[in-house]
Amino acid sequence: MGTTQTRVLVIDDEAPIRLLCRVNLEAEGMHVLEAADGPAGLEKARAEGPDVVLLDVMMPGLDGWRVAEELLDDPRTESIPIVFLTARAELRDRARGIDLGGIDYVTKPFNPVELAPLVRELLDRVGRGERDALRREKLTELKALLERE
């Protein structure tokens, strides 16, 4: 195992969710950065260059969709994997997140113990050049679910 700590930026307007993520990710040896809204999240992502962003969709002002678009449009942050973390569980919202460029979608309430293994697996796969494959898998999974509705 390398000496560099995985750096996770959690952008969520709900302090209890940020705390839940922080406690569970830090327990797994990850370094957690926090932002309470979209503009602060963009600023922190640009300044700190985290390994991954956990991004809430429903936030006042600048929502998660816009934050993701701005992160992916900025050369400084376009390669940072985005995992949407949100109460919006509708399949269309999940598909929108992946379409926008996110690599995964975690719906609230989520099991916080599963967060660190998920982040590790996603970063491992992105590191092996499987980012597009990951997104294709998620979209295929969502299409299958939509067809069953």
* 8-50 confidence digits (pLDDT tens): 999 999 999 999 999 999 999 999 999 999 999 999 999 999 9
Distances from the Cα of 42 to the Cαs of 10, 27, 47, 74, 95, in angstroms?
11, 25, 9, 10, 22
Mean pLDDT across the chain: 91
CA distance 74 to 52: 15
* Structure tokens, 29: 């040896």
Single-letter residue type at 36: A
Q: For the domain covering 7-148, report its CATH number.
A: 3.40.50.2300
Output b/e per residue, 27-66; b: 16+ Cβ within 10 A: eeebbbbbbbbbeebbebbeeeebbbbbbbbebeebbbbe
Domain ranges of the chain: 7-148
